[in-house]
Structure 1
Amino acid sequence: MDVLSLIGVILGFAALLGGNFLEGGSLGSLYNGPAILIVVGGTVAATMLQTSRPLLIRALTMLRWVITPPYVGLEDGIDKVIGWSMKARKEGLLGLESLAEKEPERFARKGLQLLVDGSEAEAIRSILEVELEYREQRDFDASRVYESMGGYSPTIGIIGAVMGLIQVMTNLEDPSTLGRGIATAFVATIYGVAFANLLLFPIANKLRGVVKERSRYEEMMIDGIIAIAEGENPRSIELRLRGFLQ
C-alpha cells in the first residue's frame, strides 16, 4: 500500500475542511446536492464522450495503483536475471525452459521463452520492445483520462456557478430562494477546483510515475535477457543492470 498517497488525500481534504471551519463555516455549508450533480455528472459525461471504451476501462482498472501500486523490485529483478544467466551458462539456454514455465511475470516469461526457442538477440529485443512500447503508451493514455477530467472539472464548476447565479437573478423577488442559488454558485466552483487539484491531477501524475517505474523495470529485463542471449558472463550482466538503480 502506498501510504503517502492515502495521507495526501486525507490531508488535502482535511486542510480544506479545516480552513472552512476556522473561517467560521460549517460542514453543511460545503454540501450542495445540485452542485455535486453538476460537477461530477458533467465531468464524467465529458470524459466518457472523448474516451474510447477500452481506454476508459483501463483507466478505471489502473485507479487502484494510486493506493496499491504494482510491485516493481529492481533489485529482485537483477537477482532473477543473474540466476537465469548462471543457469544458462551451466546448462545452456534449454536449461531455462523449466524456469520459463514457472515464471509468474508474463513479460519475463515471454523473454525466457524466446531464449529457449533460440531466437536471435535482435529478434528478442524487437519483440519485447514492441510489447513494452505498446503497453507503456496505452497506460500513459489511460492516465491522461484523469488529467482530462481535471481539466473539465473546474470549467463544469464555473458552469454550475453561472447556473446558480441565473436562478438568483430570475428569483430576485423571492428572497427565500436567493441563499440556495448563491450557495450552489459558489460551492460548484469549489467542487470543480478542489476535485481537479486535490484528486484528479495528482492521480494522473501518480499513475504516470507508476507507468515509468514499470517501464524502467521491463527495459532492465530486456537488457538482461539480451545479454544472456549474447552469452555475457553473469558478473558483466550484473554490472550493466545495476546502472538502472542509479
Structure 2
Amino acid sequence: MDKLSIAGLVVAILAIYLGFSIEGGAISTLFEFPAFIIVFGGTVGAVMLQSSHEQFFHAIKLLKWVFTPPKFDIDRGIEDIVDWAQKARESGYLVLENIAFDIDDHFVNKGLNFLADGVETEQLITNIELDLELYREHSLRSANIYESMGGYSPTIGILGAVLGLIQAMSNLSNPDMLGQGIATAFVATIYGVGFANLIYIPVANKLRTIIHQQTMYREMMAQGLIAISQGENPHAIENRLSAFRLNE
C-alpha cells in the first residue's frame, strides 16, 4: 500500500474543505449530482471516444497501481540473475527452463526460455529489447489516458457551467430553479478543475513514474539475461548490474 498517495489525496481534499469552511462555506453546497454527471460522464465519454477498447480497460487496470504499486526489488533481481548464471555455467542453459516455471513475470519468463532453447545472443537481444519497448509504450499510452482526462475535465466543467447558466436564465421567474441552475454552473467548474488537478493529472504522473521504475527493473533483468547468454562470469555480472542500484 502506497501511504504517500493516500496521504496526498487526503491532504488535498482536507485543505480545500478547511479553507472553504473557514470562509463560512457549507460543504454540502459542493455536492451537485447534475454537475457531477456532466463533468465526470463527459470526461469519461471523451476518453472512450479517443481510445481503443484494449487501451481504455488496460488504463482502468493500472489505476490500482496508484495505491498498491508493484514492487521492484533490485537487490533480489541481481541475486536471481547471479544464481541463474551460476547454475547455467554448472549445468547448462537447459536448467533455466525449470526455473522459468516459477517466474510470474512474463518478460523474465520469456527471456529464460529463450536461453533454455539456445537462442543466439543477437536474436535474444532483439527479442528482449522489442518486448521491453512495446510493453513500455503500451503502458505509457494507458497512463496518458488519465492525462487526457485532465485536459478534457476543465473544458467540460465550463460546458457544465454554461448549461447551468442556460437553465438559470430560463427560470428567472422561479427563484428555486434559478438558484439550482447557478449552483450547477459554479460547481461544474469546480469539479472540472478539481478532478483534473487533484486526481487525473497526478494519477497520470504517478503511473508514469511506476512504469519508469518497472522499465528500469526489466532493463536490468534484460542486461543480466544477455550477460548469461554471453557466458559472462557471475561475479562480473553482479558488478555490472550493481549500477542499477543508483537508480532506485
TM class, shorter-length? over 0.9
Pairing 1:3–2:3 present? yes
Determine the structure 2 residue equivalent to 1:233. Answer: 233
Partner of 1:103: 103
Structure 2 CA distance for aligned equivalents of residues 16 and 61 of structure 1: 29
> Partners of 1:105 and 1:173 in 2: how far apart?
65
CA distance in 1, matches of 2:168, 2:97: 73
- Helix, strand or coil for the counterpart of 1:93? coil
Q: Which amino acid aligns with 2:17?
A: L
Instruction: Indicate how the Cα distance of structure 1 residues 49 and 104 shifts in structure 2: closer, same or farther if over 3 A, else same.
Output: closer
Query: What is the correspondence of 1:17-32 to structure 2 with a 5 Å cutoff?
Result: 17-32=17-32
2:207 maps to a residue whose letter is: L
- Asked whether 1:71 is paired with 2:60, we answer no
User: Which residue of structure 1 aligns with residue 118 of structure 2?
Assistant: 118
- State the shift of 1:97 in Å: 2.6
Tell me, in whole angstroms, the C-alpha distance in 1 between the residues paired with 2:35 and 2:144: 25
More displaced 10-residue stretch of structure 1: 109-118 or 187-196: 109-118
The alignment of Structure 1 onto Structure 2 pairs a total of residues equal to 246
Structure 1 SS opposite 2:68: coil
3-state SS in 2 of match to 1:102: coil
Task: Summarize the alignment of residues 85-234 of structure 1 with structure 2, pairs less than 5 Å apart.
Answer: 85-234=85-234
**Cα offset for 1:178?**
2.5
**Which digits, 9 at most, give the CA deviation of each residue in 1:2-57, with x for residues without a partner?**
11111111111111111111110112111111111111111111111111101011
Gapped runs of 5+ residues in structure 2?
Answer: none
Deviations 1:116-142 (A, max 9, x none): 111111111111111111111111000
Q: Where does residue 82 of structure 2 map in the other structure? A: 82
Letter matched to residue 46 of structure 2: A
For the residue of structure 2 that corresponds to 1:104, the secondary structure is coil
| Aligned counterpart, 1:55 | 55
Amino acid corresponding to residue 141 of structure 2 in structure 1: D
Deviations 1:75-111 (A, max 9, x none): 1111100111111122222232321222232211111
Tell me which amino acid in the other structure corresponds to 1:35.
Answer: A
What code does the residue aligned with 1:141 have? Answer: R
Quote the Cα distance in structure 2 between the aligned partners of 1:169 and 1:209. 46
Fraction of identical pairs, as percent: 49
TM-score (norm 1): 0.96
Root-mean-square deviation (CA, aligned residues, Å) is 1.2
Structure 1, unpaired ranges of 5+: none
Letter in 1 for 2:205: N
Q: TM-score, normalised by structure 2?
A: 0.96
Q: Give the whole-Å Cα distance in 2 for the aligned partners of 1:15 and 1:90.
A: 61
2: CA distance between counterparts of 1:187 and 1:32?
7
